[in-house]
Structures are given as C-alpha cells and as structure tokens.
Structure 1
Amino acid sequence: MELEVREEDRHLLALALEGAPGGQDVLGEVPWGVALGGSRISPSRTRGFRPRKAWPSAMACQWCFWLIRAGPAPCRLPRPPASAPLTRLRAPPIFAVPCVSRRRDFPPRRQDPMMTTKRSLAAHLAALVSVLLLGAPLTEAQTRVPRTLVWTAYDVGSAGYSQAASIGHAMQTKEGTTLRVIPAGNDVARQIPLVKRTAHFGALGAAFFLSQEGVMEFSAPEWGPQQVRILGAAWAAFNTGAASCGADSGIKTVYDLKGKRMAWVVGAPALNLNMTAFLAAGNLGWKDVQKLDFPSWGAAGRAVIEGKADCYIASTNSGPVYELASSPRKYSAAVVPEPTRDPAAWERLKKAAPYFEPNAATIGAPPISKDTPHQGATYGYPIVTTYAWQDAELVYQQTRMLYELFPVYKAAWPGNEGFALEAQRLKWVAPYHEGAVRYFKEKKVWTAELERYNQQLVRRQEVLGKAWDRAQDEAQKQKLGTAKFPELWMKIRTEELKQAGFDPYWETKFW
C-alpha cells in the first residue's frame, strides 16, 4: 500500500541523517526509510523496514498510532530525487507515516461522481480523516467538534510522548475522541505543525516560552515572538530537564560538569537552554565542557547510554533514563543545591532560565525514590500548548477532557498526577487560552487577580510583537544579514520591554 504525499511535504518526512551512523543505508535502495524521533531504520529484505539493531525492535505507540515494527511496514513512500539527498537535510521530520494496519479504508478510495448521497457522505467523512492525518491545514469548520485531535510531542519513549499517549487513550475510551500524537526530535519541529495548523496542540517543553520571547532558534527572521497559549502542565514530583548523566562519569552535582561531554541538540533551544542553565548554576559555560552536537533528543540519549556522551537533558521519569539506569553506566542526575544552601547557584540558574523552580523529585529512574529524592530544578512538563487563534470552543473541550479524565489516566505513566487541576500554577510565564479560562471559571478556580495577571502576559506578547516589527524594519533599512539580525533584535526587544515595564530576562544575545 502506498500513501499519496504532497510534493512540498515529501522531504519533511526525512530525518536529518547528516553524520548519523547507518544513515547511508537508507539512501541506496527503494523503498527508503522514515525515522521517528531520531531513530534510524534500514531497508529489510521484506517490503517494509526493520529498525537498526542498535534500537529497540519495536518502537510504536501502544494505542496504534505511529509505527515502526520489526516486520513488513504498512506504508511506503517513493524515494526522494537525487537532487535533494537526505544527507543535506538538517531539519528533523515533522510528519510521520500513520499506522494503517487496522485501517483497511486508508487512504480513501476514489469514488464515482454518480455515487448515492449516502456513499458520498461517507466518502467526505473518510476524506476528512485523511486530511487530518496527512497534515492539510485545519479549517474553522474542522476545529468545532473534531472526532480526531492532533498533538505534537517529544520523541517516542520520552515522558511527554508517553503522557500524551495515555491522555489520548483516556479520551478514546471515555469520550470517543481519537488523539494522534506526532513525535518530533526537536523544539522547532514540534512547533511547526502548530504554526502550519496541521496540529491542534503540543505537549511541549520550555521551548513554548522561548518561542513567546523570540529567542534562540525563534530569533530567526522566519520566526519571531509567538502568540502561544497554554491549557495546563504536569507539575509532578519529578524534575523536568535534569542534567541526566552516566553515573560512571563521576558527576554528582552541577559543579562536577566541568570538562565532561555534554549534548547539544541541534534545533532544540529549550533543551540547550536548560543545559546552559545547569552549567551556569555550577559557575560554568559551554567553553568549560566538551560540546557534542546531536540531531535529536533521542540521539543524545542513545549516545549517553552507549558511552559516547556523558550528559543530556531529560526528565527524571523519561523512558530512556530508565534504560540508562539499567545499563552498565547507571544513572546520575546532577544535583542543584537548595536555594537556602547555595543562593548564588540559583541566582545564576534563574538568570539563564526564568521558568525553573526548585524541587526535590521523588519520581524517577533509580536511584531516585521517596527515600532518596533528587534535589534539582523543574517546571511543568509536558505543557499543553496552542496558539491564540485556536478556536475557543475546541480549547475548552480539550481543557475539559484534560482535567475531567484525570482519574482515568492518572496512574498510566509516572508524573501524570501533575495534571490534577489543583496542581496547576495558574500564575506562570505565559497566558492561558480563553477557552481554558472558561473552564477554570466554571470550576471556580479563576479569580479577578488571575485575569489581570493573564492580561498582562497577553500585553507582554503584544509588546514583543511591536518590537519584532520594529527590528525587521530596522534590519531592512540597515540591510543586515541573517547572522547579525539577532543582535539587533535583542537590543530593540530589551528597549521595548523595559519601556513597557516588563523584565526582558535577557538583554543581549546569549546563545
């Protein structure tokens, strides 16, 4: 079976294979492989694909969404033209092949124009499902009462992906709403489907905040500050974004990171800023460590497990962290001393990453437990995110399901308990969507003070938008190139935010 893929989307299905071991395996034969979350697959002797031996033999959502399986794959795509070799593509995939092993009617067959009204209606419904799965823009009519919702998330195996999948399972069993989770290896790739309106929501990390502020990768001329909105996050007893290391490296605290092999994930500003913040807490910078580039979060985690790197950023409850803990290297998360014991470390950390809060994690891979908590830093993760333009009724319904189905999915994955309504921090670093606010008002947890605070955050985004327009005009007048634009943008950004009475957080380019 073959899928029809739009020409402009065809190359978005490819992983950035530059420098990836075994990457050339995919190029020489037809059909060619599609990689999910940084994994690499080679053509097998069957019509489908088999995962490379270095990767788990089965990497699939247990609720049958994205699929790589150790047997004939249900879908194939044509080989890309030689004029655009995969080795030159740097952007990771933002689309993946949907599992059709249980959907014999996918894609929908071409119908005779003289079909009956009943069959015509069925064809239109099937086409709508196809459109949602293959990434066509979501229209206003489609967002009102959708039977299928689309989220983006971190790589397969990550805590965010697993938590999103467990929420989707609850939505399917209790509400009859299907949740499709698109895994992607970096922050930009997770946000592109939201911008293109091919996904409704994202189970994102701190990158949602960086996109609001227009910094790091989001300072590029094609991005700029984004009008993101949140519905909630998992504020649980795990630490998000810990410096996760092989225990045999001798790392116990952030002060031990000096000289170690640290992962930098290309196109993942949130992950990289988190690591930058932990280095700062230890009074270090990237010049004090060995910086290793990786194409995705999954690839960085695999490198630590295999002894090719010492540390990468991962939540204490991420799947690969448990794998690291069971490997010969064992697992160690670098400790950040409590603010009362080392206030200078926390001052440096918060200056780099304002969204972090001190936390003693009791959920995580061994040796983390209630008896041996990990003292570190955290923020809500995953953060259910959308854009200001998203339909308010759709956001309200998703918010309702997120909190009212909580008892159903609470125990499905470690950390899900952080999605409890009473655990939410309604005063944080980005505004809540009006659809979510409607639900909070119904539950009588939204106050006039929270409304004023939320509107201030909306106003901050407006100021950032004004600053961005000014920076683009100035760059055009000065004929600045792309490389010099971020410095101009940060200067104007700081001026506009200070003038409006807001903290700019960062006053100069820091990446």
Structure 2
Amino acid sequence: MKTTFRSVAIAVLCAGPVGMPLAGADMPTTLNWTSYGTGTSANAQIMAISQLLQTEYGTQSRVIPGENDTMRMTPLKTGRVDLCACGIASYYGSEGVMMFARPDWGPQPIRVITTSMAGFGLGMAVAGDVELETLADLKGKRLAYLRGDDALNKAAEAYLAFAGLTWDDVERVDFPGYNAAFDGIISGRADAAITTTVTPAAQRLAASPRGLQWPVLSADDTAGWERMLDVAPYFQPHTVTSGAGIDQSAPLASASYPYPIVVSNADLTDETVHGLISTMVESYDDYKDNAPGASGYALENQNMAWVIPFHDAVVDYYRDTGIWTDAMEEHQQALIARQTLLMEAWQRYKSDAPENEDAFIEGWMEQRRSALQSADMAPVF
C-alpha cells in the first residue's frame, strides 16, 4: 500500500555562531521558511534541524510562523520563502482544490523534500460510553462537522468510507471550531470527532466522565482501505504509539498522514535541495532527539509512492544512494503528469472563467473533474 524508507527533516531559524560548511556543499547563506506557529511540534522540529544546518553549512534560516493554511502557503506561492513545513494543505494546493480552487490560487507546482511520521495518529475520537466494536458502529451516531475546516471534515468522510458509511449514515452536528466540537462531545451533544491522538482536546475527552475510545483500522482490511483511499489517498496505515488513552506497549492500529510535510516549489535549486536531503538523511542521528516528533523523519517512515511528487534533486539523491526503484520512478512521473495536466487545465479555464467567486469555483471543479477523467485519472474531489 506504500513504499517506505529511512530519512530526515529540515530546518529553520537560527542565530549564533556559524559553523564550517561541509566539503563540497553548495548551500545558500540564508533559507527562508514558513511553518506552523511557535509552540507547535512542527516549529520545534524545524528549529532543531536548522541549528544543524547552520553548524554544517553556515546556512541561517528565517522562519515566518503561520497560524493557518493560507498564511503558511501564500509566502511559498509568492516566492517570499524557499520552503514550507506545511500540513495536508500542501496536497490540496498541488490539486487545486478547497481553498486553492479560488481565482487567486489554482494548482501549485509543489514538490516534497521530506515528511515526518511520528508516533501519533489522526483518528476518530469516540466517546467512551458509545457502544463501539468496529468503526461501522458509528452508523446513527452524532459526528462533529467543523465549519470552515475542510481538511478535518474530509478526514471524517474518509473514516466513514473505511466502514462503508457516508455522512448520510450519521447525524451531522455542526460546530464553529475544533475545541467547540470536543466541548460538545464532553457535554453530550455529539459522540465523535476527528483529531490527532496527542491533542489537548483528546486528553480532555479522555479525562471527562464520558471517556475516550479509538476505533481500530486493521491494515489487513483491504476493502476498507480501498474505500478510504478513494476519498483521501493521502492516508496510510499507521501504528500509533502516542496519544490520549493509548499505551505504547499496546499500540493502536489506525491511520495517519505526514506532519509536517516539508515542501518547496519545483524551481527551488537542485543544489539547495541536495544539501537539505543529504543532511536530513545522513545526519539524522544528530537531530532526531532534539525536538518532539523529530524521529518521524527516519528514512523508513518516508512514503516513496505518496500523493505529491518529490523534488527532482531528492529523486536524484535517492537514486544515487540505491533506494530509488523503477516502480517509484513510474509513480513519480504519473504524479508530475497529473500536476501538469491540472495546471494546464487551470490556465485554459481562467481565460474565460466567470467573475463571481462561487461560480468560478463550481466551474473550475467541473473542469478539473472532466480533465482528469479524460486522462483516466481519479478526480478524488
């Protein structure tokens, strides 16, 4: 279902003494980044690895913290930053959907440098007093829907699909935001919501009178995974060892996708990307314990056949080190062809698109679907 190996991460911010560059390295004096806000694990990881980049290359990093997807992705789109330690919005940007279907966005030429898959998962948090033997028992239960949060609502849809359910099979309860949804579960107004296993919201539910349980998603349930990936192909089976109510000695079979996802645009220089990926892989032991979740960049955690193409220089590095296979190359070229098709379809559509934003988005999604289906590619959205 996926192809993985062993890797590493990327960096940010630093001030302090500049170390001696590695022999033969051709890294810039400064890297500009955008990332999640201060206090997040993604930001802490980038800070830790940036120190390593400065020591090894003399490269300093400047980081712009972004509190939402727009704030993180816009500087990459405009060329203000070289790299983004992003979330799954990077995939939506590559596909030109959700917020990226608006007239000022469209499909983006995004390339992966590396990703992190730590011990936590993205799961369906269900109140502990709900009778639940399998995920299918969510039928008829009250599931939180977060207004304005397309990513988590899509994840909820994917979890339902795993069990052969849709939103029509549950009672949808709308909430204005993430924390409000968990307040709603605790107070008895809802029964379940999507969250990462390590969030304070999940901890609050676990400590409440209702308690917390996590449905199991067996990696052996081929049909369930096919349904889930039809809805959200970026998910993958994941053994969860960290989170509310999860015992590391009895891990949870669940699902997740990488966080953060370190991406650039396709035109970031090969020299810069080669310096990044080689440092991330070869100096992994030097930073893996320096921030929570940094061990998630291990090479065995890298999915070499995921949903966003790698940067050419990353492919070259994996090829030179004997990791890259013909099957990986075939998948990579298919992803590039898909992205190219979407970007060309966007340019054609924009030349005669309606001015009204709602009509623009509706027309683009139809144009996008038609273009992908004509090329025997799944629209997904």
TM-score bracket for this pair, using the shorter chain length: 0.7 to 0.9
8 A contact 2:160–2:166 mirrored in 1: yes
Q: Tell me by how many angstroms 1:500 deviates.
A: 2.5
| Match of residue 350 from structure 1 | 229
Q: Tell me by how many angstroms 1:487 deviates.
A: 2.7
Q: Is residue 324 of structure 2 the alignment partner of residue 446 of structure 1?
A: yes
* Distance change in 2, residues 1:491/1:270 (3 Å): same
Which one of 55, 70, 75 corresponds to residue 193 of structure 1?
A: 75
Q: Tell me by how many angstroms 1:195 deviates.
A: 0.8
Which one of 22, 42, 47 corresponds to residue 160 of structure 1?
A: 42
| Match of residue 101 from structure 2 | 219
| Match of residue 315 from structure 2 | 437
Matches within 5 A, 1:76-475: 145-239=27-121, 241-244=122-125, 254=135, 255-256=137-138, 259-260=141-142, 262=144, 264=146, 266=148, 268-282=149-163, 283-285=165-167, 288-294=171-177, 300-301=178-179, 304=182, 313-317=194-198, 320=200, 324=204, 328=208, 332=212, 334-338=214-218, 340=220, 345-362=224-241, 364-475=242-353
- Identity %, equivalent residues: 31
Q: Is residue 372 of structure 2 the alignment partner of residue 497 of structure 1?
A: yes
* Distance change in 2, residues 1:367/1:231 (3 Å): same
**How far apart are the structure 2 equivalents of 1:237 and 1:443?**
27
**How far apart are the structure 1 equivalents of 2:98 and 2:310?**
23
* Distance change in 2, residues 1:348/1:291 (3 Å): farther
Q: How high is the TM-score relative to the length of structure 2?
A: 0.79
**How far apart are the structure 1 equivalents of 2:196 and 2:251?**
14
**How far apart are the structure 2 equivalents of 1:177 and 1:275?**
41
8 A contact 1:325–1:365 mirrored in 2: no
Paired amino acid for 1:353: A
User: What do the CA deviations read for 1:338-372 (whole angstroms, capped 9, x no partner)?
Assistant: 2545x55434422220111222312x124213322
Q: Tell me by how many angstroms 1:449 deviates.
A: 4.1
8 A contact 1:356–1:378 mirrored in 2: yes
**How far apart are the structure 2 equivalents of 1:284 and 1:356?**
17
> What's the RMSD between the two structures over aligned residues?
3.5
User: What do the CA deviations read for 1:289-317 (whole angstroms, capped 9, x no partner)?
Assistant: 212123xxxxx248737957876544334
**How far apart are the structure 2 equivalents of 1:372 and 1:216?**
37
8 A contact 2:246–2:252 mirrored in 1: yes
Matches within 5 A, 1:473-484: 473-475=351-353, 479=354, 481-484=356-359
Q: Tell me by how many angstroms 1:422 deviates.
A: 3.6
Report how many aligned residue pairs link the two structures: 356
**How far apart are the structure 2 equivalents of 1:347 and 1:422?**
23
Q: Secondary structure at the match of 1:484?
A: helix
Matches within 5 A, 1:27-106: none
Q: Is residue 361 of structure 2 the alignment partner of residue 486 of structure 1?
A: yes
8 A contact 1:160–1:203 mirrored in 2: yes
Q: Tell me by how many angstroms 1:455 deviates.
A: 2.3
Q: Tell me by how many angstroms 1:386 deviates.
A: 0.9
* Distance change in 2, residues 1:347/1:167 (3 Å): same
Q: Tell me by how many angstroms 1:228 deviates.
A: 0.5
* Distance change in 2, residues 1:64/1:167 (3 Å): closer
**How far apart are the structure 2 equivalents of 1:261 and 1:461?**
33
Name stretches of at least 5 consecutive residues in structure 2 with no aligned partner.
Answer: 1-10, 17-25
**How far apart are the structure 2 equivalents of 1:244 and 1:383?**
23
Q: Secondary structure at the match of 2:117?
A: coil
* Distance change in 2, residues 1:493/1:326 (3 Å): closer
Q: Secondary structure at the match of 1:505?
A: coil
From the two aligned structures, give the one with the greater strand fraction: 2
* Distance change in 2, residues 1:433/1:271 (3 Å): same
Structure with the larger RCO, 1 or 2 (CA within 8 Å, 6+ apart): 2
Q: Secondary structure at the match of 1:386?
A: strand
Q: How high is the TM-score relative to the length of structure 1?
A: 0.60
Q: Tell me by how many angstroms 1:459 deviates.
A: 1.4
**How far apart are the structure 2 equivalents of 1:284 and 1:156?**
36
**How far apart are the structure 2 equivalents of 1:182 and 1:332?**
36
**How far apart are the structure 2 equivalents of 1:259 and 1:397?**
50
